[in-house]
Amino acid sequence: MASNSVLQPVTTHGWRAGFNNLFRKENRDWWGTRSWLAQAIIWTAILIGILATVLFAPMEGDASLLLAGGKSVLGLMIFFAVAGTALPIGAIIMGQEEVLDEKRSGTAAWILSKPVSRAAFILAKVTANAIGILLIMVLLEGVLAYGLIAAVTGRAFPVIPYLGALGVLYVNVMFYFLLSLMFSAASNSRGAAIGIPMAILFGYQFFVGVAPWLLEVTPWGLTNAGSGSGLPNSVATAVALGQSFSGLPIIATLAWCLLFVVIAVWRFNRDEF
Amino acid sequence: MAANDLVIETHGLGKTYKEVTALKALDLTVSKNSIFGFLGPNGAGKTTTIKLLLGLAKPTAGGATVFGHDIVHDNVEIRKRVGYLAQDPRYYEYMTARQTLRYTAHFFFKGPEKDIEARVTETLELVGLSDKADRPIKGFSGGERQRLGIAQAQINYPDLLILDEPAASLDPQGRRDVLEVMEKLRKHTTVFYSTHILSDVQRVSDTVAILNKGQLVAQAPIDQLLAGGSGSTIYVMSLKGDVTQAQQRVAAQPWVSNIKVTPDNTHTDWQVTVTDEAAAEEQLLRVVLSDAQVHVLEFGRKKYELEEVFLGLVEGNDGQ
């Protein structure tokens, strides 16, 4: 039997113990398999398909459309509105699987019997999925939508504000991903991990109707036009068009995201395997 | 025993799940380079103890150290030196055995990659999985999974190997292979393993602890346990001739508490239970031989089978 002396030991301590290996594996799950391709095809079919339907539909003489700034602005609004709902649904499904499936299958117990911190287990999933969601679900689809709108309408939006708008969309998607992941780390209930984020995603009109101020502290106004805020556009559309917008919902949503991660790590630390 | 010769030390270690006590005030010591058999019936608290030692669960009473590291606050450091095979191990089904071992190895080592690959290959050979190394685990049999389990537990050449029921799901050949691997590893590592299979324990263990209903009922080197049974010392004798007077003489000794006589066609077997081992060792044979009519065919201390000891201790404990 050879000795361990020829091998360089991993020297990370504390919360980082095991993170690099876990992160590599989570990344491989995205990029080393066909997962990224499947995600790209699904979201392109849904988001770009709907956008194309709208852009290619005849709309001559539609006064409201002209007032709103033409087909290109309509396309922009449609893209952020549809992506702002469809992508969170995908993110919720992904988030609930991340920890819950590993707890149920027993692979979490196996991994945690190695020199791995529980924080690293959660953070590796958060980080790798954050990259996958950003590149495939937000950036790729955003670039395709941008190209389609420009090709069909002949109008290209300024790139930097548009990327800023995609950033707003990304914050919105991550909110739901992390909310679902938090429930999957904190409970053994798939119902809670899917149902609660879905209720928050689809219940916004009810909640905002009861308490309009919620728009300022939730992601609801980030991609939903109007949303009872009195503004004609969502924050994402306003950012893309260079209009004025309130930054508070973005800051609040980022704070929620951070809180969800903290709760997920804290709760997972208390779990027993 | 020097403190650094002890790998595991528990002090009043306990675990209660809601109102169910899984483990009561366990005091256990496991010394370096031993093969430590951890026995007990189902629900005795063996797996709970193992999970506590690894930091997979938190104790509700007492504490423990492994390699001097606290199991609650320093368990990552413990797991750096431990290999663990769970009772029902689960891996990523889409990975091959080689990928699983490579992934496991990277929790311990960052390079060089060629040496990690060499370690993976060597470990696959050790457990006899070389020919199935590149097949996805989802097609593995129970025995192959168990071998992979031992391989992933062994990949870092741990100072302590913790195996929870390593042979439970295996056929006799698989069990034999697992025991052989354990024997091979004893030169390099301490093996702490739980099992129901008493013959395996008797074959490979040097120290044994018996747990029942969450309580430790015995811990001793296996030779001592087999010699002492469940507490009393018994000498067995095979005698020829008229043993009546010899029997009266032996029974009259103050250190003899019982003589069980089993007559046979050609000889008589005695089982003499004694209360003073030293006195019995010095005098018992002399007392018998002082009777010229008696010939001693066999004399020795009774050797117990582990099953006898185990059942004696567990059933005795149940009756309390």
Q: ipTM of this predicted complex?
A: 0.88
- Answer yes or no: do B124 and B201 share one domain: yes
* Number of domains present in the structure of chain B: 2
Of B57, B80, B122, the CB nearest to A273: B57
- In this structure, are residues A162 and A142 in contact, taking their beta carbons and an 8 Å threshold? yes
Is B249 domain-assigned? yes
Is B193 domain-assigned? yes
Between A and B, how many residue pairs show a Cβ–Cβ distance under 8 A?
Answer: 87
Minimal CA separation from B314 to chain A, in Å: 28
Q: Which residues of chain A have pLDDT under 70?
A: 1-3, 59-69, 226-232
Token digits for A182? 């938090």
Eight-state DSSP code of residue B55: T
Eight-state DSSP code of residue A6: G
Of B108, B112, B188, the CB nearest to A1: B188
Closest CA to B149 of B176, B126, B117, B119: B126
d(CA A74, CA A54): 8
Q: Which of B69, B71, B102, B108 to mutate to test binding with chain A, by most A CBs within 10 Å of its CB?
A: B108
Q: Residue A228: what pLDDT?
A: 47
Cβ–Cβ gap B109/A1 under 8 Å: no
- Answer yes or no: do B148 and B252 share one domain: no
Cβ–Cβ gap B115/A105 under 8 Å: no
The string of pLDDT tens digits covering residues B162-213 is 999 888 777 788 788 778 878 877 778 899 999 888 888 888 888 999 999 9
The string of pLDDT tens digits covering residues A188-212 is 899 999 999 999 999 988 888 899 8
| pTM of structure | 0.85
- Answer yes or no: do B189 and B168 share one domain: yes
Is B320 domain-assigned? no
Is B312 domain-assigned? no
Q: Which of A19-28, B37-46, B212-221, B291-300 has the highest mean pLDDT?
A: A19-28
Is B117 domain-assigned? yes
Is B204 domain-assigned? yes
Q: Residue B141: what pLDDT?
A: 87
- Answer yes or no: do B69 and B201 share one domain: yes
Q: Which of A25, A114, A273 to mutate to test binding with chain B, by most B CBs within 10 Å of its CB?
A: A114
- Answer yes or no: do B179 and B46 share one domain: yes
Is B309 domain-assigned? no
- Answer yes or no: do B125 and B144 share one domain: yes
> Does residue B224 register a pLDDT over 90?
no
Q: Which of B211, B228, B245 is the last residue of a domain?
A: B228
- In this structure, are residues B206 and B221 in contact, taking their beta carbons and an 8 Å threshold? yes
Strands B190-195 and B20-31: unpaired
Q: Which of B202, B228, B254 is the last residue of a domain?
A: B228
d(CA B14, CA A20): 34
Token digits for B169? 């799901």
d(CA B233, CA B280): 10
Closest CA to A209 of A224, A193, A194, A196: A224
d(CA B120, CA B177): 19
- Answer yes or no: do B223 and B241 share one domain: no
Lowest-pLDDT range of A61-70, A143-152, B42-51, B288-297: A61-70
d(CA B84, CA B152): 8
- In this structure, are residues A114 and B56 in contact, taking their beta carbons and an 8 Å threshold? no
- Answer yes or no: do B168 and B244 share one domain: no
Token digits for A103? 């707890």
Q: Which of B228, B248, B282 is the last residue of a domain?
A: B228
- Answer yes or no: do B160 and B210 share one domain: yes
Q: Residue A232: what pLDDT?
A: 65
Minimal CA separation from B218 to chain A, in Å: 27
Q: Residue A112: what pLDDT?
A: 97
The string of pLDDT tens digits covering residues B99-142 is 999 999 999 999 899 999 999 999 999 888 999 999 999 999 88
- In this structure, are residues A242 and A236 in contact, taking their beta carbons and an 8 Å threshold? no
- In this structure, are residues B39 and B195 in contact, taking their beta carbons and an 8 Å threshold? yes
Cβ–Cβ gap A7/B119 under 8 Å: yes
Q: Is B110 on the interface with A (CB under 8 A)?
A: yes
d(CA B260, CA B234): 10
- What's the mean pLDDT in B47-60? 96
* Chain B residues within 8 A of A114 when measuring between CB atoms: 79, 104, 107-108
* Chain B residues within 8 A of A14 when measuring between CB atoms: 76
Q: Report phi then psi at B97, rounded to 5.
A: -60, -40
Closest CA to B157 of B129, B190, B131, B180: B190
The enclosing domain of B243 has a CATH number of 3.30.70.920
- Answer yes or no: do B240 and B183 share one domain: no
- Answer yes or no: do B119 and B152 share one domain: yes
> Does residue B262 register a pLDDT over 80?
yes
Is B311 domain-assigned? no
- Answer yes or no: do B152 and B7 share one domain: yes
Q: Residue A229: what pLDDT?
A: 47
* Chain A residues within 8 A of B112 when measuring between CB atoms: 6-8
B276 confidence band (pLDDT: 50, 70, 90): confident
d(CA A221, CA A217): 9
* Chain A residues within 8 A of B106 when measuring between CB atoms: 10, 20-21, 24
* Chain A residues within 8 A of B157 when measuring between CB atoms: 1, 3-4
Cβ–Cβ gap A115/B58 under 8 Å: no
Minimal CA separation from A31 to chain B, in Å: 15
Cβ–Cβ gap A10/B58 under 8 Å: no
d(CA B29, CA B65): 10
B312 confidence band (pLDDT: 50, 70, 90): confident
- In this structure, are residues B221 and B275 in contact, taking their beta carbons and an 8 Å threshold? no
Is it true that the peptide bond before B112 is cis, omega within 30 degrees of 0? yes
Cβ–Cβ gap B89/A106 under 8 Å: yes
* Chain B residues within 8 A of A106 when measuring between CB atoms: 86, 88-90
| Percentage, residues of chain B above pLDDT 70 | 96
Give me the domain span that covers residue B287.
233-303
The enclosing domain of B141 has a CATH number of 3.40.50.300
d(CA A29, CA A36): 9
